[in-house]
Structure 1
Amino acid sequence: MKKSIFSLIWLLIFVSCGENRKSDTEVPGREETTKTDVLEAGAAALQKKGPFDHMNIYLVGFHPMKDNPSHQMEAHHFCTQINEDFAQCALFDGNTDEAKLTGIEYIISERIFDTLPEKEKKYWHPHNYEILSGQLVAPGLPDVADKELMESKMNSYGKTWHVWSTGNADGDGDKIPMGDPKLAWSFNRDGEAKPGLVENRDKEMEIDSKEKRKERKDLIPQAKPQEGVDALKGKFPRETKSIPGVESKNDSNN
């Protein structure tokens, strides 16, 4: 029997986030003064945290940039579920208090995606491969809660902008945010992620994405063809392979 959504939320709030993943980027600047430390302590004690109090869903996945698929980043999502069809996430390059804010992602259901104008759909990437491949994970959740969460995101879409390319997952990166925001996409075939990208995350966070893939096989019948699956097809230097449950739907989403 499926757990209620209340039980799932309870687990999401109170279960540990799992192993730490630190940011590798050191930002130039002077060491904080005592005055700044005191101001921070006062703010922490007296000011409301509003939106952050509800960011109780933690996901870790990967993003290639749509206009430059060789630029790939590990993304730690801290999300608020606004309603059943819409979530919003702040993206970081790690999960410690030194993590750098790298972007934002909005997640919508297939129901909302189908109402979007065609010119808008090109900004939204599909999620079925991320889920069924085991690459998208919810660290610290028990298996039953993980399955419930991933099932709730089947056939969904994300709109992601990265504003800071840090060095956590793609070389040295930038010490401070540089240039224009970059529209991120999703991997949709085996072989699109750079060798070592997923494996390094798994090792550092004690995650087995291959085992997650096996555990999620029973979600395949729920998968529907999605737009955007072929948006980056043929733009990776390695041989790629489709997996069951990830199919393209009249792929005009380029």
Structure 2
Amino acid sequence: MASSDETPEAMPQGDGSVPPGKPMTMGQHLIDKGTQIAQTMQPIKQMTLHACTFSSYSHDMSRLIEAHHLITRLSQDFLQCAVYDSDHSDAKLIGIEYIVSTKVFETLPPEEQKLWHSHGFEVTSGLWVNPRFPEMFQKSELQDLAQTYGKFWCTWQVDRGDILPLGAPALMMSPQGVNLGMVPPEMIKKRDERYKLSCESLMAKRADIVVPQSMNLADYWMKSDGKGFAIDIEPTDMKEREPFP
């Protein structure tokens, strides 16, 4: 079986922008408009924050993606995110991320902590932005986010040209370090120009934000001599369902 970063010969490919299928019909558009009126869509309406940042694959740190998180806060200590490849109307859902506070994260067993990454560097370096929301109004939110940890599973590897979600989910990590060398400057420049931002300016404005210093196993790749995590798919014995009474 191919490893998680290899591309099988039969894998459909393209530029990652157009999934296969015919254009939507006028009848389908009318049905969709009707369901939007008739149904509540409550989970989607609870999304209150759009964050744009960068993520790398745990098994291949040379691959980075720009990720757009639409965030729902279920409590002050727990957030859940639908992750898209852009903020356009035709954006593709490429994964999910769960975010917890330091208080919750420190209750996790060591093996679980290894799957999570910290957000402190993302926030203080200016990599994490909330597009079109004035920085002065989001400072308290950013201070809270800098104290959080995330577990991000990518289900659609659009950066390698997949036009469908293929294979097993990939665990994603957050860029870390004393500089932004892990994220190509052109990726940051393109994002900043789109939203009329300056990563360097944001970094200066966020210099007073405190990040957790506790010794834990988040960002495990930094503490394990370059060991990451990858999921493979293999056959297994199926557990049979008990017969109905």
- Please classify the TM superposition score into its range, dividing by the shorter chain length: 0.7 to 0.9
The one-letter amino acid paired with 2:190 is: N
Give the conservation status (yes or no) of the 8 Å contact 1:162–1:181. Answer: yes
2:36 paired residue number:
44
Match of residue 181, structure 1, among 169, 179, 183: 169
What TM-score do you get using the length of structure 2 for normalisation? 0.80
Deviation at 1:226, TM superposition (A): 5.6
Contact 2:116 2:219 in 1 (8 A): no
Q: Could you tell me how far 1:224 is from its partner in structure 2?
A: 2.2
The question of 1:103 aligning with 2:95 is answered yes
Aligned pair partner of 2:191 in 185, 190, 201:
201
> Cα deviation per residue 1:67-87 (whole Å; 9 max; x = unaligned)?
111121110000011111000
User: How far apart are residue 104 of structure 1 and its match?
Assistant: 0.4
| Deviations, residues 23-55 of structure 1 (Å, cap 9, x unaligned) | 971122101122211211111111111111110
Structure 2, unpaired ranges of 5+? 1-14, 230-245
Paired residue total: 211
Q: Secondary structure at the match of 2:19?
A: coil
Determine whether 1:130 maps to 2:122.
yes
Contact (CA 8 Å) 1:121, 1:253: kept in 2 or not? no
What is the TM-score normalised by the length of structure 1? 0.77
Q: How many angstroms does 1:96 deviate by?
A: 1.6
* Higher alpha-carbon Rg: 2
Write out per-residue CA displacement over residues 120-175 of structure 1, whole angstroms, 9 at most, x where no aligned residue.
Answer: 11111111110110100011222222211110112210000011122xxx4x6211
**Contact persistence 1:128–1:155 (CA under 8 A):** yes
Contact 2:50 2:69 survives alignment (8 Å): yes
Give the match for residue 213 of structure 2.
224
CA-based RMSD: 2.2
For residue 56 of structure 1, give the secondary structure of its aligned residue in structure 2.
strand
Name the structure 1 match of 2:71: 79
* SS of aligned partner of 1:48: coil
Q: 1:206 to 1:154 in 2, by over 3 A?
A: same
Unaligned runs of 5+ in 1: 1-22, 236-251
